[in-house]
Structure 1
């Protein structure tokens, strides 16, 4: 996967691939990253990249010339924007199949609409809130995609993660067995793998019903659950409502 990032503040990305899974994936050649400074493409003698909006309004708008020059020849342009479609694991899985993408980080009140019309393939938001720029959303998106690239994380680990099967992930415990009076659930110490799987499924369903019932509804609509999962969903939902 080749990532190209266009930003007014390239320094944001200097430490992105220095730690943990992302660093290992970079060292193994799973992805490459190029960060370009949008100001370098400005023809203005002061490298200006913004101007006042037509018809008035608050703030400034990023001008088309430097963006148009920076995006020339770039593939699969994604504009990180609070008005974009909300990022989900399903979208991350789709994007992880691409060979390359260009991430455009906006600032101020946004970018000139003509650049969106000319270059942008998708607008993506990481949530229902507003940040000061697109750099952090771009890093969030890259992190989520890199984790799904072949060889970065084992398939088994990915299978049980939150959102991958329209369920949030079950609780986790590690040593010691008793920490300051709080003990690990006995079933996890039983060695009975079938019972443990059932317990973890119930944990995941209960947590999702409590925090993200919309995920379960979406999974039902998409016929994503097997018969065992559906049976437990309806049983646990009825218990919660009783």
Structure 2
């Protein structure tokens, strides 16, 4: 499977760099990710290629005009005929891992980056859905679009060197945070790697990691923890916990 993504933006250089780096760059080299950056200004009319205007009824800021945006969407759809068109907007549904998994099963995506005070309402008739990456203000939809592309691309088969990586990360398989991770050296400035991770006992390691993930989720994201369906084993693991998550503290190892 190859993921084909088009990003519609007023500022192409904001997305060009990240798409060529790290996992995304490697995915493109493997031809598992194909990206196209569409400059919305190319579809604006007139000498100055104006893409925004003042809002009807007054108010601060500018609104993205419908003509260039809709023309850009329609033109891109001629190439990506089966694409789902997504507008990145603070008014959209919350983007999460479940949505990333859903989108990873779609071969073509068109991501429309909003700007200024938003887009003309009539543009929404030409998109399939709206997504938001959180309740905070961004300069534009470009960073949100990159977050979506990154999260979805990681789930495309063959993109990650270790296919287990995407299965064990936070939020994959349920609303739970990933537990603490350690690498060499085994001791750093007086802080040692928990003995369980050095034991070579895979069952013990799995049990330790599950307990730490549960505790970390309970401490840092009680909203997610409340949504978990705890097993009897999970309840037992939590009852055994003697430590609380606090920065880089190491949990008591049972």
Identify whether the pair has TM-score above 0.5, normalized to the shorter chain: yes
CA apart distance, 1:76: 1.1
Which stretch has the larger CA shift, 26-35 or 176-185? 176-185
Distance change (3 Å), C-alpha of 1:37 and 1:236: farther
* Equivalent of 1:89 in 97, 101, 120: 97
Q: Distance in 1 between matches of 2:146 and 2:234?
A: 34
Q: How does 1:47-196 map to 2 (within 5 A)?
A: 47-72=49-74, 74=77, 75-116=83-124, 118-153=125-160, 154-164=162-172, 165-196=174-205
String of CA shifts for 1:34-76, please: whole Å, max 9, x gaps: 1011011012331001111111111010011101111115231
Alignment-derived partner of residue 229 in structure 1? 234
Q: Distance in 1 between matches of 2:99 and 2:114?
A: 20
Alignment-derived partner of residue 27 in structure 2? 25
String of CA shifts for 1:184-211, please: whole Å, max 9, x gaps: 1112111221111111110000000011
Q: Distance in 2 between matches of 1:45 and 1:17?
A: 31
Moved over 6 A (4+): none
CA apart distance, 1:182: 1.2
String of CA shifts for 1:133-166, please: whole Å, max 9, x gaps: 1111111110111100011123311121001132
Alignment partner of 1:72: what SS? helix
- Alpha carbons 2:101, 2:155 under 8 Å: kept: yes
CA apart distance, 1:231: 5.0
1:4 aligns with 2:6: yes
Alignment partner of 2:93: what SS? strand
Q: Distance in 1 between matches of 2:215 and 2:130?
A: 33
Alignment partner of 1:16: what SS? helix
Q: Distance in 2 between matches of 1:17 and 1:84?
A: 23
Q: Which runs of 5+ in 2 are unaligned?
A: 78-82, 245-254
- Alpha carbons 2:182, 2:193 under 8 Å: kept: yes
- Alpha carbons 1:206, 1:236 under 8 Å: kept: no
Alignment partner of 2:136: what SS? coil
Count of residues in Structure 1 that have an aligned counterpart in Structure 2: 234
Q: Distance in 2 between matches of 1:226 and 1:144?
A: 28
Q: Distance in 1 between matches of 2:38 and 2:98?
A: 28
Alignment partner of 2:200: what SS? coil
Q: Distance in 2 between matches of 1:92 and 1:219?
A: 20
Q: Which runs of 5+ in 1 are unaligned?
A: none
